[in-house]
Amino acid sequence: MKKIIITFLTATLALTTLADEKGLKSIFDGKTLKGWNGDPKFWSVKDGAITGQTTKENPTKGNTFIIWEAGKLKNFVLELDFKIIAGNSGIQYRSFKKPGNNDGWRIGGYQADFAAGAGGDRYSGICYGEGFRGILSLRGDQTTLTKEGGKLKKTIKKIGDAAALGKLVKKEDWNTFRIEAKSFHLTHYINGEKMTVLIDNDEKVRRAEGLLALQLHQGPPMTVQFRNIRVKNLK
């Protein structure tokens, strides 16, 4: 009887997970940049992936982004595959266009960060605030942000070993990033492993919704690719 019950529960859980994942909808057609807006000097589609590339002859002055134009995200799940050759990149969410005299492809907000160093880097999986308070939660941490006396306070609980989690990120190969944003509880996963959690109680600064964008970082020549980009809106 126990075996039957366990088998039934396992099957039910599998079906529930499958149903949940069916809610993910593709927002990239794999062929064109329809629905996306970025500087054509740097962004194209190659091998079925949105590709950002800088070269020695064609550098970017400052970080540049390709922006999803179909609206703003609030509570959601996002999954995509990424591959990076050199440099640093990330997925912007609940973000905003930076004010001022610029080309319109400058973005700030929450960032699901990753870098080419794979296990040797400190950035893959972290939650970074692009133009928005800097590093918010490191890999292996659950960080709660509050304001005390006008200053940002971080309360940190360890949820994993940063070095061990970093080794799960494949270098110069495809990895899967998953972001879960529910109210002000933000969770990042890479290849199915929880990397960091941010609980943002900084009420005056935190963002409930905003733009989705993909980053190409300034600096030495680099290439970053994104494919299988899927989103599910949550209540």
Asked if residue 161 belongs to a domain, the reply is yes
Mean pLDDT of 205-222: 97
Question: How far is the CA of 76 from the CAs of 10, 131, 181, 197, 208, in angstroms?
Answer: 26, 22, 5, 15, 11
pLDDT digits (tens, 9 = 90+) for 158-196: 999 999 999 999 999 999 999 999 999 999 999 999 999
Asked if residue 159 belongs to a domain, the reply is yes
Asked if residue 8 belongs to a domain, the reply is no
182 closest CA partner among 93, 51, 31, 74: 74
Residue 197, pLDDT score: 98
Tell me the whole-structure pTM to 2 decimals: 0.89
Q: For residue 189, what are the domain limits?
A: 27-233
Judge whether 94 and 68 are in contact, CB under 8 Å. no
Residue 8, pLDDT score: 46
Confidence of residue 53 (pLDDT cuts 50, 70, 90): very high
Asked if residue 167 belongs to a domain, the reply is yes
Confidence of residue 3 (pLDDT cuts 50, 70, 90): very low
1-15, 122-136, 157-171, 205-219, range with the lowest pLDDT: 1-15
Please give the tally of structural domains in the chain: 1
Asked if residue 14 belongs to a domain, the reply is no
**What is the CATH number for 212?**
2.60.120.560
Asked if residue 124 belongs to a domain, the reply is yes
CA dist 177 and 162 (Å) reads 16
Asked if residue 169 belongs to a domain, the reply is yes
Asked if residue 17 belongs to a domain, the reply is no
pLDDT digits (tens, 9 = 90+) for 96-127: 999 887 889 999 999 999 999 755 588 999 99
- Name residue 49's beta-bridge partners: 46
